Amino acid sequence: MNFVLIAIFAFFVFGVLALFTGNQKSIMADLIRTCGPIGGSILGLIPVIQVLAGKKISAFIMPWELFNGSFYLEIDLLSAFFLLPIFILTILASFYGFSYLKQYANQRNLGSIAFFFNLFIMSMVLVVCAKNIIMFLLAWELMALTSFFLVMFESEKSLTKWTGWLYMSLTHLGTACLFVFFFMAADGALSFDFGDIAISFDKNKTSLCFLLALIGFGTKAGMIPFHIWLPEAHPAAPAHVSAIMSGVMIKTGIYGILRTILLIGVPGLSWGIVLIILGALSGVIGILFALAQHDIKRLLAYSSVENIGIILLGLGLGVVGIKTQSPVMGVLGLAGAFLHILNHAFFKGLLFFGAGSVIYATHTNRIDELGGILKRMPLTGLTFFIGSISICGLPPFNGFISELFIYMGSFKEIVVGDFDNTSILLPIITILALVTIGGLAALCFTKAFSIIFLGEPRYKFNHEIKESPAFIVYPMLVLCAICVMVGVFPSLILPILEEPVSLFFSNEVVRSTFVPMGEMFGIMTYVYLSLIGFITLIAIVRNMLVKRRSYQTTVTWDCGYIRPQATMQYTASSFVETLVDIFSFILRTKKTMDKPSTYFPLKNAGLNTRTADTFAQKLYYPVYYFFKGHMFKLLKIQYGNINLYMFYIILTLVIMLSVNLLTRSEL
């Protein structure tokens, strides 16, 4: 525990110190800005690994009246599991940010960014370690605030400002639900410590409590329909912050849901169904919106919604598994959800890093402006490529493993299930949702990777495009290596999953389910190795042939036309047009163009499409504008007249007094 305390302390101290470095360009200033999160995270990893290895670490408890309980920090299995990606990604993101922020050195106060970054990491650590309601909510709020300031990084852009406020208001909508939830849950408990709440929780309130928690935590996680802040906020932050926000911060929402289940018990079967349906919706709708985007970071942000969907599917299977006494489905679903939490942190971190690297080199985030940069940025390209395959859930990388868990859970249920029972629908929905997500993700990420990195440049930049500096590239290589390792040697990851899953299922059940999975993973490793072997072998044969024969280069087949142009390539928008068209009832993409309609072409016909968030357009904005319209009427009671305000105060006091008196008289 001490290490984590030191880490938290380090985040805080170095954060404050960094504030003083301002915009200084000395090595010392750079060190102060970066070494806090790196050092703290490395320290923090030690107890995390210990806990995951099965060792119990005593909690840090200090009774505190203010908290109506105690200052209570503990790394239990669940916390440790979530701390793992937080620390790993923080280390890499700090290195990355060190290089990445250099481009802003003259325009922004790097010290304050470092300050917020440090506090942001600290708040996330606190959120997953806090075992007291007040502490948790404070940390939660701190996390929201610090990330708000990081989103407002380029606050002079009006869009960013709007984004920041959207983020802020939605986060607080969620937090409001959490407040209600926690205090309802804590009603009748000895203290606000989690342990006490779990003991005295009134089971009758489970459904309502779980609903509130689901909305509150789901908002943070970016669950549909509470996701609308996510595609706005993530792209606005610097790339390494986006990576952390998308990779781990939204997972604190999932942490919250899991913690809720531990706290108030497993909710009813219907909540499992709700989770599966929300997961399927988040997954499919998230990826649909992702593939219609033109901004690479928005695309990745929407894809986070999709991945949260996959995690929710796993969670849903877990809940259903517990409630319907189908432990195999439950264990595998939950294990899939847990593994996907890790995997998504890694490949989404990787992809955001890659996107940042591209933006660093080209200064644009519009996919349609890019093209052909694989030749100029080979490592960014390679890692982005592997990240893309991973996130599509294709073998032999890590995304496949977590989806495989969920598939296996569902299929095994179908094997033993009964088609006369409607609950068989749940694994079927899960499978179909996963397949749909997988297919759409393939479309989304072949688009993202290919249009950015392959083909010919679509736009002539005034500057030379070259590979990003080492500190940007190496973190990507590390994440890439993790994706490959987890993918090819999945048996390595099983022990890490076993313990957290055991929080929800008995040890024997988990072990007996994991043993066949382990065997399967063992075989799969051999299959992958032979796949890689085949690839190497054939590549060697080909290279031998290349050496022996003539080898020429020419232009891409252009039908013999003498002047091929870069516009004769598919664009990102064209690549997805048919699908966007098919799903126009959800996406509602607006296409603006002057069609050539006269016999002879019009001058200046242009075409562009925009896919705004349907939920924002149809659900949130009407409500917002309704209130905005009616709030002005409230101005009437606020005239700036002191006497009037005095009158309000007295009126309020009188009402409170009379209410008090009346209720007392009833007693």
Question: Strand pairing of 590-593 and 60-64?
Answer: unpaired
CB nearer other proteins, residue 174 or residue 314:
314
Of 28, 581, 590, 618, the one binding other proteins by CB under 8 A: 581
Q: Pick from 13, 509, 579, 612: which binds other proteins (CB under 8 A)?
A: 579
For other proteins, which stretch binds (CB under 8 A), given 240-248, 253-261, 269-277, 525-533? 525-533
Site for other proteins in 547-566 (CB under 8 A): 549-561, 564-566
Angle at alpha carbon of residue 325, lines to 321 and 330, rounded to 5°:
20
Of 16, 105, 527, 619, the one binding other proteins by CB under 8 A: 527
Shortest Cβ 548–other proteins spacing (Å) = 10
Please report how close the Cβ of residue 225 comes to other proteins at its closest, in angstroms.
23
Which residue's CB is nearer to other proteins, number 258 or number 284? 284
202 counts as binding other proteins under rule CB under 8 A: no
Our CB check for other proteins shows the closer of 325 and 604 to be 604
DSSP notation for 326-340: -HHHHHHHHHHHHHH
Q: Name the minimum Å distance from CB 91 to other proteins.
A: 30
Residue closer to other proteins, measured from CB, 559 or 623: 559
* Smallest separation, CB 558 to other proteins (Å): 7
- Cβ closest to other proteins, residue 233 vs residue 443: 443
Helix/strand/coil for 407: helix
Residues numbered 382-411 forming contacts with other proteins, rule: CB under 8 A = 385, 389, 392-395, 400, 404, 407-408, 411
DSSP assignments along 499-539, one per residue: HHHHTTS-HHHHHHHHHHHHHHHHHHHHHHHHHHHHHHHHH
CB of 214 closer than 8 Å to CB of 176: no
Interacting residue with other proteins among 237, 254, 440, 587 (CB under 8 A): 440
Please state the three-class secondary structure of 131-180 as a single string.
CEHHHHHHHHHHHHHHHHHHHHHHCCCHHHHHHHHHHHHHHHHHHHHHHH
Number of residues lying near other proteins (CB under 8 A)? 106
Contact set for other proteins, span 279-308 (CB under 8 A): 294
Q: Which stretch binds other proteins (CB under 8 A): 38-46, 163-171, 527-535, 625-633?
A: 527-535
Candidate list 153, 449, 505, 620; residue touching other proteins; CB under 8 A: 449
Classify burial at 591, counting beta carbons within 10 Å of its beta carbon; exposed 0-12, middle 13-18, buried 19 or more.
middle
Nearer to other proteins (CB atom), residue 193 or residue 369 = 369
- Show contacts with other proteins in window 493-512 (CB under 8 A): none
Distance, in Å, from the CA atom of 73 to the CA atom of 60, rounded to the nearest integer, reads 5
**Residues 384, 351 contacting (CB under 8 angstroms):** yes
Q: Does 340 bind other proteins (CB under 8 A)?
A: no
Q: E-strand spans in 277-421?
A: none
Q: Given the complex with other proteins, which of 203 and 603 has the nearer CB atom?
A: 603
Among 481, 492, 582, 646, which residue sits at the site for other proteins (rule: CB under 8 A)?
A: 582
463 lies in the binding site for other proteins (CB under 8 A): no
Applying CB under 8 A, among 79, 94, 450, 589 the residue interacting with other proteins is: 450
Rule CB under 8 A: is residue 372 a binding residue for other proteins? yes
Residue (88 or 483) nearer to other proteins, CB: 483
Q: Quick one: 71 exposed, middle or buried, by C-beta within 10 A (0-12, 13-18, 19+)? A: middle
Please state whether 586 falls in left (phi above 0), alpha (psi between -120 and 50) or beta.
alpha
Nearer to other proteins by Cβ, of 96 and 575: the residue is 575
Q: Which of 277, 454, 503, 616 binds other proteins (CB under 8 A)?
A: 454
In b/e form, how buried is each residue of 607-618, taking b as 16+ CB within 10 angstroms?
eebebbbbbbee
Residue whose structure tokens are 């997954």: 283
Q: Does 456 bind other proteins (CB under 8 A)?
A: yes
Q: 255: closest CA among 213, 309, 192?
A: 213
Task: Determine the interface stretch with other proteins among 56-64, 151-159, 211-219, 524-532 (rule: CB under 8 A).
Answer: 524-532
CB nearer to other proteins: give 435 or 654.
Answer: 435
Contact 114, 57 (CB under 8 A): no
CB 373 within 8 A of CB 357: no
Residue 62 or 415 with smaller CB distance to other proteins: 415
What residues numbered 606-645 form the site for other proteins, per CB under 8 A? 606-609
Q: Which of the ranges 77-85, 147-155, 200-208, 431-439 carries the binding residues for other proteins, by CB under 8 A?
A: 431-439
Choosing from 22, 54, 63, 439, the residue that interacts with other proteins (CB under 8 A) is: 439
| Locus of tokens 């908290």 | 67
CB of 327 closer than 8 Å to CB of 509: yes
Which one of 470, 492, 538, 656 is in contact with other proteins (CB under 8 A)? Answer: 538
- Output 206 or 589, the one with its CB closest to other proteins: 589
Dihedral angle of Cα 532, 534, 540, 542, to the nearest 10 degrees: -120
The amino acid present at 300, given as its one-letter code, is L
Q: Minimum Å distance from CB 238 to other proteins?
A: 25
Tell me the residue ranges of DSSP E strands in 379-426.
Answer: none
Indicate whether 254 belongs to the interface with other proteins (CB under 8 A).
Answer: no
CB 87 within 8 A of CB 8: no
Shortest Å, Cβ 336 to other proteins: 12
Options 121-129, 346-354, 596-604, 629-637: segment touching other proteins (CB under 8 A): 596-604
Closer residue to other proteins (CB): 130 or 448: 448
Contact flags string 213-252 toward other proteins, x per CB under 8 A: ----------------------------------------
Backbone angles phi, psi at 464, to 5 degrees: -75, 140
Compute the half-sphere exposure of residue 280: CA atoms within 13 Å on the CB side of its CA. Answer: 18
Which amino acid is residue 511, in one-letter code?
R
How many whole angstroms separate alpha carbon 197 and alpha carbon 182?
A: 9
Q: Are 124 and 79 in contact (CB under 8 A)?
A: no
Residue 423 binds other proteins (CB under 8 A) = no
